[in-house]
Structures are given as C-alpha cells and as structure tokens.
Chains A and B, each alone.
Chain A
Amino acid sequence: MSHLIDKTLWEIISQNTSDTESEWLTEKGKASPIELMTAFVASPRFLSKKIVNVEIEEEKALTDAVAGFSVNGWSLVRLSRVWLLTQLDETEKETFIKNIETLFDTAEMNELVALYSALPVLAYPEQWLFRATDAVRSNMGFVFDAIALHNPFPAKYFSELAWNQLVLKTIFNDKPVHFITGLEERENANLALILSDFAHERWAAGRSVAPNVWRLVSKFMNEQLLSDMKHLFESRQTQNQEAAALACYDSDYAPAKALLSSYPEFEKSIDEGALTWSNLEFTDLNTYVPTLQR
C-alpha cells in the first residue's frame, strides 16, 4: 500500500466527516481484522449519506500515486470503506487474502462497489484478477460500473481477452465507453473486429450502436471496417456520419482517407477542430434505456 494513497484518502475523509465520524473510522482502522471487517460492513450505520468533495490537489496526488485512480463523485461510505481496506493488515499474505475474500463472498451491492473500487490500491493485485473479471460478468449495473468505468485496474492487469470482454459489454450495455480508463492504450485489432461483428448483429435487429464506439477502429481500418464506415455515412444519421468521418480521419488506411474526401464538410469541420470524438460522448449510465437508440 502506497503511503501517499493512504494519506491522501484520509485527508479527503477528514475534510468530509464530523469529529464523531472520523473518530469512529480512526478507531476501526486500528482494530483487529474482524472488527475492521465488521466496520466495513456497518459503515452506512455510522457515516452520513453524502458525496465527498475532493480538492484538485488531492485528486492530483491520487493520480500521481496510482495512474488513473480517482475518487471523484464517490459517496463518503464508499471512500471510507476503501480507506478501511487500506488499513487492513497485509503483512501475512494468506490471512489478508482470506479476509478480503470473505468480504467479497458476503458482500451486498454497495460493498461490492467499494471492494472493486479498492482493487487498484489493494496489496497483491494479481490475486484479484479473477474477482475483477467476475465483476465484468455481473448483471448489477452498479457493480459492473465499479470495475469497468473510471477504474485503472483492468487496463493494467487484464489479458486482451478479458479486456475485450469488458469493453464489449460496456458497449453492449450502451454505457459510455470513454469512461473506461486506458481505453486508447489497450485498443487492439481483435476488439475492432469484434465490434464490427457486434454492430452487424445490432443492425440486423434494426437497432443501433452508440456512434462514439467507432473511435476504437481507426488504427485497424481494413476492408471490412471500411464497409462499416460506408454504412455509417449512408445511415443519414448525423452522429453516425460524424463517427465515420472521425474514424476515417484518424486512420492511416488510404481507402479510408479517400472515403472521407467524398464528405468534405465533415473533413473541414474536423480540420477546424469543431468536430471531435467528444461531440459524440454521452454520460448516461442507464443500462436498459439507451438514449441513442433508434
């Protein structure tokens, strides 16, 4: 456990808690493992329901310590739970792992969210790989989001297969793909092709894919993907056309450049900086009611 993380988390907590609350946490943080674990469970009974305020310097300190780690928008309970986990004695590997596994096994939804949020700062990171991939299989939106979005653990530790599952399931659930930490660094040709297949299934069913996801294909543009770009250009939906234009613009594949040149108004707008991927980004995490469908 990085001392800096631990210290910064506590700074944020102390700015967001009453004396009674921070005293309770301090006491539990020093307690025996079983008492600390019970405190992890019982936190909502002792801490107020609120979203924490995080100063810019603290935010920066966290990201400097663990790239991509952020507690922005977290509830006090979630943050305190993660802090409590950082206080759990990790000197004996076996015991530490057993304790964390027990918490996973008996966790309710919000505890799972806290546990998955803590993975980037937990000792023995390779131990949590299975748990992390299991969270991607979760049907509970909150749990899935905790591992998939704004969490640096998957980009750092997932295999390509597990990573592609994570990205594809985010797309499948119509969640904002740009909230995935490390999305660009972990782009790969397989993912681009799976995405193309997936889009074809959606199109066959008369459904659509969030335009924003086509940012994943530029580097891997080939004949198959180019035909998808044509399909998007011809869809007569502006956002699809913009996505195709951006994907072609970012690509080094000559036929993609040629295709884009037949849509000069989009090319111009990208050149001028008026059209970027951020125009197509959306923030709705609603799993079942995609805003961009149809």
Chain B
Amino acid sequence: MAFEEAGALPRPRRLPTGRLAVVAGVVLAASAAWVAGLEMPALLSLMLQWLPHLAMGFALNVAISLGAVGLGTAAGTALALMELSSWVALRLPAEGFVTVFRNAPILVVLFATTYVFPFEISLGPWHIAFPDWAKAMIGLALPAASQVAELLRGAIQSIPSAQWDAAASLAFTRSQSFRWIILPQCAKRALPPWMNLYSTIAMATTLASLVGVHDLLEAATEATTAVQRMDFTVAVYLAVLGWFFVYCYPIARFVRWLERRLDRR
C-alpha cells in the first residue's frame, strides 16, 4: 500500500501570504472594534481626535530611522573597507567597533548616547542644541553601522577574485576597480539584507520613547494616560502595532520578491 503513495508526497499548499496579511489586518481591526463594544462612536471620535498627535510621533520615527540608516550606511561602508584593509591599524579598530555594537542591546546603546552626549554643543560663540531625537538617531546609527559593515564585507568577499584580476588587466587601478566594478555588484547582493536592516532600525526607533523622544509609542502612552479609558488604551496600542505593520510589512515582502528575483539570475 505504502508503495503506491511513495511517488509524490502530498506537500502542504503554498500559503497565499498576501491574503493572509489582509486577514491579519482585519483581525486586528475587528479585535479593536470588539474591545470597543457598544461605545464605538465615542471611541472612534477619540481616536480621530488623537490621530494628528500620533501621526506627528510616527513622523519622528520615520525621520529618525532614515537618518540613522543613512549615517549607519556611510559609516558602515567605511568600516567594511577598514575591515578588509591589509593594515592592522585600520582593521583592528573596525573589527572592535563591529564586535562591540553587534553584541550590545540597542536599548543600552540608546541610553549610552542619551546620557553621554551633552545637551548642547559649544562651538566658540555658538551653542547648538543637541536634541534627544538626534542622540537617539546616533544611538541607532552605531548598531546600524556595524550591521552594514558586516553585510557589505560579506558581499565584497562574495565577489569572485577573478573580477579584481579582470579589472586589473583592463588597467583599472585598485580604487577604480573597487568603485566601478566591485561595488556595483555588491550593491545588488547587499540590497535585500540592507532593506531588512532598514526595517529593523525603523522598528527599533520605538526604543527611543524610553529615552524621552516623543515618537509614536510615546504619543500613544500620552494619549492613553490623558484619556484613561480601557477600550481606548487597547485600541491605541493595537493601532500602533498595526501602524508599524503597515509600514514594515511591504518592505519585508519587497525584500522577498527581490531575493527570489536575484536567485533566478
């Protein structure tokens, strides 16, 4: 009997992930509505009333994440080059930096940058304010830089050395081959993990609420403390969860699509 079935094992059906995402969204909304119960209109108007405040918070999340990943990418590229350098004086500090910030919890790094940096910088006669969000941005840029360094180093090392030789035989100098031959190929390979990193950092920006940045999560806490209603509290936190999901999930889907496309080549 078993012989007949041995050919093709029934494999589970491929799950329609897109439809599931919609279902997840509906479930979230429905649970919020369920909690709201009969007081739905009051709750809805409260939510609408607080929406601008929450949106302002989320704008800060987006700004911090973009700044942190921008800074982190610039610093991480430099670190990756340092790690691949043949000079120990360049390699060791870069490796040390990457090891420290890959092992440190992001929250702890955020506390460090918040407390260690001054609240303003004095440049001669000028005093430039150093706001909390800027400190948080640097705090997130440090782990981001270590991640970028790792993924870029991996990408650079994955380019066959024949590419370097071929570039050299075409009379490119070492720095020219790196810029024109190697880096464009790396960018393609490093793009999916880099986008995942962006999504991780975007989610990590909520940690900034713990060091006094008025981000979306902080705005949600303020709203619930001001309103003091159980259904509102539940609805607001679920809304924050949904908000981030709507922002980050498309990135995750896009990365998967990109990876599949790169795989096929």
Q: Tell whether A pairs with B.
A: no
| Interface residues in chain B, defined as those with a beta carbon under 8 Å from any beta carbon in chain A | none
A residues at B contact (CB < 8 Å)? none
